Amino acid sequence: MKTDLHSFFAERAWVQGRWAHDVLLSVDASGNWCGIQTGTPLALRTNATVLSGPLLPGLVNAHSHAFQRAIAGLTERTSAAAGGVGDNFWSWRDRMYRAAARITPDQLEAIAAMLYAELLLGGYTQVCEFQYLHNAIDGAPYADPAEMSLALVRAAQRVGMGLTLLPTLYMRSGFGAAGLREDQRRFSSTPDRLMRMIDSLQRQTRALKHVNVGLAIHSLRAVDDVAVKEVAAFAARASLPVHIHIAEQTQEVQDCIAHTGQRPIEWLMRHVPVNAHWNLVHATHTTTQELKAVSASGAAIVICPSTEANLGDGVFDYPGYAGVNGQWSIGSDSHVTRSWTEELRLLEYAQRFAHRRRNVAAQESANESSAAALFEGALAGGRSATSLALGSIALGNRADFLVLDAKASALLGVPTDYLLDALVFSSPDAHCAEVFVAGEQTVRQAQLGADASAVWPQIQQDFVRTMSALWRTHA
C-alpha cells in the first residue's frame, strides 16, 4: 500500500475545471496524487506545506525541437536571396538547417538545458521532444546512434523536466525524392535504425525519473508509404505515442495531392490505423471531413500557435475541430516563445482575427470562460501526447503543478473566479513562484534572483558559451 510522501495546502487550486477553495493535496511515494480534499478544516492542514499562491496543474508541451531554441530571434530579417520578397516557411527552413548542421551533442545539451529550464519557469512540466538530429556533423552515424537523443535526456534530468523523447524517422527530401538533400544529412534514418534506437533508449532511460519514449514520423513528404506503415505497426505493438507533422503548409498539401491524389490527413486516415496514440502536429490546412475523421479516430492535434504565426503557416480551424469534439494539445515547436499563456492567447486571438468575434473558445466549447476552455483543452491533450497519466489534479495522476505568484501585477485585485482569465489574457505574464514535478520542487522564484542556486547561473553560462561558438562567424 502506498503511503503519503507529502501534503500541500492551497487556498485556491484548479480542480475539475474550476477554482476550488482550501484544498489539501496529498502525494504518494510514487509522486502521484493520492488525496484531494476541498474545503479543508483548519485542523487537517497542520502538517501540510502551505503554498504561497494559487495552484494550477502543470501543462504538457506537446511539440518541441530543442535545437531550434538556438535560432529564436535570429531569423527575423528578410532573406537576401529572396530579394526582400518571398520570405516564407521554406526560406526559414534553409536557415534552420544551417544551424542544425553545426550543433554538437554537448552544445545540444546546453541549449536544451536552457530551454527546459525556461519551460519549467513558464509552467510546463513535461515536454515532447520531436528529435530528428541523429547523425554526426559529417552525416555519419555516431558510435551510439542515440547520442544526440541522450544529450536531451541529460538536459531534462539536469533541470527536472519530464521528457517524452520522440526519435524521428526522416528518409527523403520530399514526395517522390530518392533520398535527402546534403543539408539534411544529419536527419537520415531508416525504420530498422529507428526501432533499434528506440529499444536502446528505453533500456538506457528505464531507471531515470520522468522519461518515456515514443516515436515520430517527420511527415508524409519525408517518409515513404511502406516505412510509415512499418513504424506505425511497431508503435502499435509497443503502445507508443506517435507524432507526425502534417498539413502545416499549403505547398505540402498541394504536393501530397499531386503525388498521391489525396490530401495529407486524408491519405493518413485511409491508409494507416490511426488511433488514440496518434498526435497530428499542426494540421493547419484541413477540411471538415478530415477533422471529423481525426476526432473519430481518437487521435489528437498538436497546435503550435506561436510557431505557426512566426512561420506564416496559417490559422488552425479551432471552431471546426471543437464542433466535432476534437482533442488537442499545445506545443511551442521552434520556441520563439516559451510561455503557454502566450500560446493559448495567440490561439484565441488568431480565431478572433479570422472570424471577427470574441471569446471563440468559450462559445465553441460551451464554457463561460475562454481561458478555462483553452486551458482544459490543452490539459486533456497531454495524456495523448505522452501516453502518461498527466494533465489534471486527479487521483493517480502524476503530481505536476505550479504555484502562481499572487503578487504578480496581472493578478493583483482580480476576483478569484477570474484569475485564470487574467493569467491568459492580461499582460505582462504572471510568473510561477514554484513549479513541482511528481511532487518535487524543480523551480522556485529565487532562482531568478541573487540568491539563486548554482544550477541556474551555470545553465545560463553554458548557453551563452554555446551561442557564442555557434554564431561567432555568423553574426
| In the predicted structure, residue 287 carries a pLDDT above the cut 70 | yes
CA–CA gap between residue 223 and residue 230 (Å, rounded) = 11
CA–CA gap between residue 127 and residue 146 (Å, rounded) = 18
In this predicted model, what pLDDT tens digit does every residue of 204-259 receive, in sequence order? Answer: 999 999 999 999 999 999 999 999 999 999 999 999 999 999 999 999 999 999 99
The single residue listed with the C-alpha cell 513504424 is: 231
In this predicted model, what pLDDT tens digit does every residue of 76-122 receive, in sequence order? Answer: 988 665 555 578 888 888 889 988 999 999 999 999 999 999 999 99
C-alpha grid cell, residue 47: 502538517
Cα–Cα nearest to 14, from 51, 63, 67, 69: 51
Cα–Cα nearest to 307, from 299, 316, 298: 316
Do 235 and 215 contact (CB within 8 A), yes or no?
A: yes
| In the predicted structure, residue 284 carries a pLDDT above the cut 70 | yes
Phi and psi for 369 in degrees, rounded to 5? Answer: -110, 125
pLDDT at 440: 94
| In the predicted structure, residue 64 carries a pLDDT above the cut 50 | yes
Q: Percent of the chain beyond pLDDT 90?
A: 87
In this predicted model, what pLDDT tens digit does every residue of 382-419 receive, in sequence order? Answer: 999 999 999 899 999 999 999 999 899 999 999 999 99
CA–CA gap between residue 323 and residue 41 (Å, rounded) = 42
Q: Name the catalytic one among 243, 245, 282, 285.
A: 282
Phi and psi for 130 in degrees, rounded to 5? Answer: -85, 95
pLDDT at 456: 83
Task: Measure the CA angle with vertex 462, ends 458 and 463; round to 5°.
Answer: 115
pLDDT at 87: 84
C-alpha grid cell, residue 72: 529564436
Phi and psi for 466 in degrees, rounded to 5? Answer: -65, -45
> Which 3 state secondary structure label does DSSP give 27?
strand
- 308 Cβ neighbours under 8 A, 6+ residues apart: 248, 282, 284, 314, 315, 316, 333
Helix (H) or strand (E) holding 205: helix 191-205
**335 an active-site residue?**
no
Q: Which residue has the higher pLDDT, 95 or 440?
A: 440
CA–CA gap between residue 129 and residue 163 (Å, rounded) = 7
C-alpha grid cell, residue 129: 521532444
CA–CA gap between residue 373 and residue 363 (Å, rounded) = 9
Do 179 and 172 contact (CB within 8 A), yes or no?
A: yes
- CA 78 distance to own-chain centroid: 28
pLDDT at 475: 44
Count of beta carbons in the 10 Å neighbourhood of residue 456: 18
Q: How confident is the model at residue 452 (pLDDT cuts 50, 70, 90)?
A: very low
CA–CA gap between residue 293 and residue 324 (Å, rounded) = 9
Quote the mean pLDDT of the chain.
Answer: 93
In this predicted model, what pLDDT tens digit does every residue of 261-283 receive, in sequence order? Answer: 999 999 999 999 999 999 999 99
Q: Name the catalytic one among 313, 317, 333, 421.
A: 333
Q: Which residue has the higher pLDDT, 379 or 90?
A: 379
Q: How far is CA 29 from each of CA 8, 25, 292, rounded to the nearest angstrom?
A: 14, 14, 41
The domains located in the chain, with CATH, are 4-57+401-444 (2.30.40.10), 66-386 (3.20.20.140)
Cis peptide before 54 (omega within 30 of 0): no
| In the predicted structure, residue 153 carries a pLDDT above the cut 70 | yes
Mean pLDDT of 323-336: 97
Task: Report DSSP state, residue 178.
Answer: S
pLDDT at 145: 95
- 219 Cβ neighbours under 8 A, 6+ residues apart: 244, 245, 246, 248, 252, 264
**21 an active-site residue?**
no
pLDDT at 94: 87
Do 180 and 171 contact (CB within 8 A), yes or no?
A: yes
Helix (H) or strand (E) holding 241: none
Mean pLDDT of 375-387: 97
